Amino acid sequence: MQYLMFQCQCNDNTMFSYVVAGLAVLLFLYNPAIQYISPQPSRLPRTPRPRINESLLAIDEVNQTAPDCPPDSYSVHILSKAPLVIYIENFLSKDEQSHLLEISEPLFEPSTITNDGDATHRDATIRDSEVALLPRTDAVRCLERRALALQGWREDLWVERLRTQRYGAAQHYAHHFDWGSGARGWGRVSSFMAWVRSDGVEGGGTQFPLLRREGEGGRWWCRWVECPGLASGEDGGEGLEKDGDGEGDGKQDGKGEEGTGVTFKPVAGNAVYWENFRPDGTGRGWDETWHAGLPVRRGTKVGLNIWSWGRLT
């Protein structure tokens, strides 16, 4: 009897040892197995800058002096951290808005699209607006520097030549990404959409249908984003149309609660900034930056595109 009890105890100890050893082996192999089954994207190598058309970048001449720029007076509000999306109040002063409209007027021409990053063509079913490639006046150069400063003067980052976009009644820009492939480690790092003119405009919001707005201050955001169902005068004083653009606000209700889909209203002088690529060095873009310029129902909207191009790693 004692022998049997001793044998059972030994067998129990042996079994326990096997279980512990098995768990150790399982833990040791688990992480490599998961990485094999679901490999993580690898970081892009650090490559030299590719050949580009430098005439499309806002690059000063070697001996060109810096412009005398007024101090910045804007304020920022973070709407999303992943991707980083920042709403900017008073990004453009009244004088800057007037200057942009003045220099744009004689330069507007029908907007085009590209499928390969090179050849362009017109397709009003996708993009129906007018565009002006702006001369680099001192005021424009100050806006370029403001955009770089907000991004921390990153290494290997350049602002592209600034463009204004004019949308009349029924004109629009269908859903699209500002970025293409980042596989070679370079691309359009970030975007600004600033509004230059929006007096009397109905519709024409900038819609991000996949972007999630979180937080408790939902109604506070309704000053600048569409909140369907919120009665006029309940948005902090700006006033909202009762019908709104609507399509892009998903689960957001009249209280401006969190949900998927954000439509920014065109407010002259203000801007929205977003980053197009994930900060992990893999060259993967954010799906949430898919956006559109919704049709203008009434009035004329003028926007300012500020795109930054550079290294992704």
Exposure letters 32-52 (e unless 16+ CB within 10 A, then b): eeeeeeeeeeeebeeeeeeee
Q: Give me the mean pLDDT over the 199-204 stretch.
A: 97
Where is pLDDT greater, at 234 or 69?
69
- pLDDT value, residue 6: 43
- C-alpha distances in Å from residue 113, one per residue of 42, 55, 73, 194: 31, 19, 34, 20
| Closest to 57 (Cα-Cα) out of 48, 49, 69 | 49
pLDDT tier at 254 (50, 70, 90 boundaries)? very low
Q: How confident is the model at residue 235 (pLDDT cuts 50, 70, 90)?
A: low
Structure tokens at 169: 């009644």
% of the chain residues with pLDDT over 90: 63
In this prediction, residue 219 carries a pLDDT of 79
Reading the block at residue 155, the tokens are 């290494």
The vertex-148 CA angle with 84 and 279, nearest 5°, equals 35
Neighbours of 73 (CB within 10 A): 9
Q: Give the closest residue to 302 by CA, choosing from 147, 92, 144, 136.
A: 92
3-state percent helix, strand, coil for the chain, nearest multiple of 5: 25, 30, 45
Q: What pLDDT sits at residue 22?
A: 58
What is the reported pLDDT for 16?
54
Record the tokens describing residue 158, joined without a space.
Answer: 């350049």
Q: What is the pLDDT of residues 148-198, one digit of tens each?
A: 999 999 999 999 999 999 999 999 999 999 998 776 899 999 999 999 999
> What pLDDT shows up at residue 41?
73
Euclidean distance between CA atoms 1 and 202, whole angstroms: 93
Look over the chain and give the mean of its residue pLDDT values, rounded to a whole number.
Answer: 84
Residue 110 has pLDDT above 50, yes or no: yes
Half-sphere CA count of 166, side-chain side, radius 13 A: 17
Q: How far apart are CA 276 and CA 286, in angstroms?
A: 6
Instruction: For residue 18, name the pLDDT band (cuts at 50, 70, 90).
Output: low
Contact status, residue 188 vs residue 267, Cβ threshold 8 Å: no
What is the model's pLDDT at position 60?
Answer: 93
Residue from 269, 262, 260, 275 nearest 304 by CA: 269
Question: What's the CA gap between 266 and 273, in Å, rounded?
Answer: 14
Coil, strand or helix at 103: helix
Structure token pair of residue 55: 């005439």
- Within 10 angstroms of residue 300's Cβ, the number of other Cβ atoms is 16
- Extract the tokens encoding 47: 């490559």
Chain segment 118-152, per-residue pLDDT in tens? 789 999 999 999 999 999 999 999 999 999 999 99
Q: In the prediction, which pLDDT does 115 show?
A: 79
pLDDT of residue 313: 73
Residue 227 or 147, more confident: 147
Q: Is the pLDDT of residue 290 over 70?
A: yes
User: Rounded distance, CA 122 to CA 119, Å?
Assistant: 11
Q: Which residue has the higher pLDDT, 168 or 242?
A: 168
**Residue 288 pLDDT greater than 70, yes or no:** yes
Give the model confidence (pLDDT) of 19-73 as tens digits: 555 555 454 554 444 445 556 678 878 888 888 888 899 999 989 999 999 999 9
Question: Is pLDDT at 4 greater than 50 in this prediction?
Answer: no
Q: For 206-220, how does the pLDDT look when each residue is reduced to its tens digit (9 = 90+)? A: 999 999 876 555 678
> What's the chain's length in residues?
313
User: What is the C-alpha end-to-end distance of the chain, expressed in Å?
Assistant: 72
Q: How confident is the model at residue 256 (pLDDT cuts 50, 70, 90)?
A: very low
